[in-house]
Structure 1
Amino acid sequence: MKIGRRGVLAGGALALGGAGAYALTRGSGGEPSVQEEGAPTAVEDDRAAGLAARFAPDLYFDARERWFPTDPLRYASDRDGDLVVGGFDALDGYTADVRDGGPPAPTVYYRVVEYPDDPLVVVQYWVYSAFDQFTTNFHWHDWELLQTFVDTDADRAVCHAASAHSRAVPNNEYLDPDAERAAVLSELGSHSSALGLNATRDRFERLPLDDS
């Protein structure tokens, strides 16, 4: 079954929200349609781990990047019985860890959901940086998201979607990708995620380059 862009992205919006009133089903002409049916369900642990490992993206960072993906729980503290990661705690703790030995605890979180009676599975990857240090909008606790949509009937990725940080342009989507593992180019400081779609996966190429 060919899964079209509208159907894939409708599923993505639901997966991102974690709960909702829609699921993908096959419509006329083989294209999925959106029908009211309930939330998607989480894929069982072993299968989810296998899918997450198989489709895990390659992340590329600028040579001057300071704030790499890490585990925020390293910097958590108890506040009146609640586990809290404070902005200054994460910033100071991460900076001290880098000073002592380089970027600590590289971490990518994942979540995998599927839809009743439909081959579409969505694999989400979440990465956390302690700080967003861009030219504008400095802030703590920077989360970025990549989603890979998998057609389990065809046993292949049918779409990669990354967070691009622009209200004028939708999140960049790569439908029917050649590579099942996405290449993600992380913007310096802000970590806005662009998809590497060229033959050279770790950089942008505005024009084709020869083999030399």
Structure 2
Amino acid sequence: MNPLDTLIREHVTPVMEAAGFAKKGRTFRRAAPNGDHAFLHIDADLVDPEKFVFEVSFWMVPLPSWEFAYRDVPNRTAPNASGALATCKVIPPDVAAHQPEEEGYFRSRWAFAEPDTRDLCGRELARVLTEEAVPWMVRLLDRGTLLAETRTNPNGELVRLGDATKSEILLRIDDDPVAEVSTLVDKAEAEGAFPPLIAWSRTRLARRTTEES
């Protein structure tokens, strides 16, 4: 078995499964009752011949975001990270980082030498997942929480994918009062928002109105 897969099996899978995530390959998925999804991805980086280097990231996929992104695709599959509304890198502590002195993009890379530091890296990853990343992912499965956190710091650790107007519409469209969301959609149209988003939103709101009457 690839040493990275061994690390995942021994250290990551127990943490993720205990938190209600299902595993497929190097991806872990948890679905909320309303169809929203959280994904954790582990991706290898072939950048160092002496170490196994990889990145860990999570992706939040509210169902409206997925359905809008694939609105023209018949028989679309179950949600995956391509429909994400926000994403975040899981940053390693110095002891498990490929370049601990780096302050930019590459600081997100985890690394271990096989077999010397694999277990150390795995234990640190399990700890960060248990203490920080997984609880945060679970909280963000609540649309109100996701909206609040992408409003507060949209390009910090949690990166909003898309503009603020689109994000707010997609996160409010199924749960907030129809009249309030309709007003938001009208304002977005007046400000030149993406026309397919406006049309799709009005159709979804009209369906809600019919279902709730």
| Larger strand proportion of the pair | 1
TM-score under structure 2 normalisation?
Answer: 0.28
| Larger helix proportion of the pair | 2
TM-score under structure 1 normalisation?
Answer: 0.29
